[in-house]
Amino acid sequence: PPVFARARALAGAAGEVDRREGWWRQALGLMPAHPGTPGLTLRAVRFDDADGIPQGFALYRVALGPNGYPARLELADLVAATDDAYAGLWRFLLEMDLVSEIAAPLRSVAEPVRWQVADPRALRKTDERDHLWLRILDLPVVLGRRRYSAPGTFHLTVSDDLGFADGEFRLTVDEHGRGDARPVSGPAAAAAEAAADDVRVSLSAADLASLYLGGTSAVTLARAGRLSEGSTDAAARLDAAFHTIQPPHLSTWF
């Protein structure tokens, strides 16, 4: 768990969740997920730095082919708290004798290993799907909790069939990336605010949730007809503010 906590800080990606003790016991094979599937086939490798401090680990299984070899390596988890640990663990897996294929589910869409191998074409992304869903309830609190990449003033008209996040809101982002979101009350106030704001957009609470972690583009939503621009380049400017260095990533089933 301490290595996992440091790895989350290194990655800087939104979307990851804490792992409870029960999760670790199941992942390590100490508490099988299904009857008859013991964790005895699970193998582990740990990366220690020059000072002997654990900085990463990988959990994997090796499944033999029809005739024994070549084998397929199934990566259950790879966690690295330093770039050296990440590179070292992947080198260990990729250079394992008699293994012809590695399957690595739940990895990031921006996995660095693609740029660490001599032949990037040997790596294939075979599946990409949504993993974490968000539901915004208290919009001012939610927008005030994250950091932003560009300053600006944004007038958001949000539709929510359940009413939790429905309404008009003014999000102000300062030069330090801090955001302050407040509801705009009353038609007259809304008109006045909208006239003064630089950026005006209309979208649903579901689409705002997809933008929140930085993994979806406002421009893409606008082209898909899911976001309406009320000012010039509104979607592009919203993207600039909501941009994150790393795409969101969730490596933990729950």
Q: State the fold for domain 2-122.
A: Aminopeptidase (3.40.630)
List the structure tokens of 75.
């990566």
Q: Contact at 8 Å (CB) between 57 and 45?
A: yes
Whole-prediction pTM: 0.83
What lies within 8 Å, CB to CB, of 102 at 6+ separation is: 72, 73, 74, 75, 93, 94
Q: What's the CA angle centered on 157, arms 155 and 162, to 5 degrees? A: 145
Q: Which of the listed CATH numbers 3.30.1050.10, 3.40.50.620, 1.10.10.1100, 3.30.429.10 matches domain 139-242?
A: 3.30.1050.10
First-to-last C-alpha distance (Å) of the chain: 16
The span from the CA of 86 to the CA of 103, in Å, is 17
Q: What is the pLDDT of residue 159?
A: 98
Give residue limits of the domains in the chain. 2-122, 139-242
Q: What is the pLDDT of residue 34?
A: 58
Cα torsion angle, 128, 129, 134, 135, sign: positive
Cα torsion angle, 124, 120, 250, 23, sign: positive
The span from the CA of 186 to the CA of 13, in Å, is 38
Q: What is the pLDDT of residue 194?
A: 56
Q: What is the pLDDT of residue 54?
A: 95
- State the DSSP code for 252: -
- State the DSSP code for 147: B
Q: What is the pLDDT along the chain (254 residues), one digit of tens a residue?
A: 789 989 988 888 888 888 888 888 888 877 765 555 555 588 999 999 999 999 999 999 998 877 777 899 999 999 999 999 999 999 999 999 999 999 999 999 999 999 999 999 999 999 888 888 999 999 999 999 999 999 999 999 999 999 999 999 999 999 999 999 999 976 555 555 555 558 999 999 999 999 999 989 999 999 999 999 999 999 999 999 999 998 999 998 87
Burial 182-201 (b: 16+ CB within 10 A, else e): eebeeeeebeebbeebebbb
Nearest Cα residue to 170 out of 195, 137, 150 = 195
